[in-house]
Amino acid sequence: GEDVEQSLFLSVREGDSSVINCTYTDSSSTYLYWYKQEPGAGLQLLTYIFSNMDMKQDQRLTVLLNKKDKHLSLRIADTQTGDSAIYFCAEMEGGGNTGKLIFGQGTTLQVKP
């Protein structure tokens, strides 16, 4: 079945860039997503990328997609303490718009002042 994998932990200093990496298996995924979970809260969509794109920039966030290697990354520029959270990579199962997202294990980002 489909699988999404991420590293579990990343620690950076405030002001540095953070790069969170993800690999996925379903090559038919139409969209790939990054969700953010703050302590004690549910997940919220941070950004997404359409599968025919290789890059998307949104303010401090840059998403890079390498479809050949099935690799997705999220770069956060000028990381702030408020960016400390768990970041989940996700793909839509079976492509199209089935409604069923498969999530990675989540990467805990720790930002040190």
Q: 65-94: which residues touch other proteins (CB under 8 A)?
A: 88, 92
Q: Three-state SS for 100?
A: coil
**Type of residue numbered 19:** V
| Interaction of residue 55 with other proteins, rule CB under 8 A | no
What is the token pair recorded at 95? 């492509």
| Interaction of residue 20 with other proteins, rule CB under 8 A | no
Contacts of 82 (CB under 8 A, 6+ apart): none
Site residue total, other proteins (CB under 8 A): 23
Q: Which of 55, 68, 97, 113 binds other proteins (CB under 8 A)?
A: 97
| Interaction of residue 42 with other proteins, rule CB under 8 A | yes
Single out the segment in contact with other proteins by CB under 8 A; choices: 29-37, 53-61, 62-70, 76-84. 29-37
Residue-wise burial string across 41-70, b where 16 or more C-beta atoms lie within 10 A, e elsewhere: eebeebbbbebeeeeeeeeeebbbbeeeeb
| Interaction of residue 40 with other proteins, rule CB under 8 A | yes
Contacts to other proteins by CB under 8 A: 30-31, 33, 40-45, 48, 88, 92, 96-106
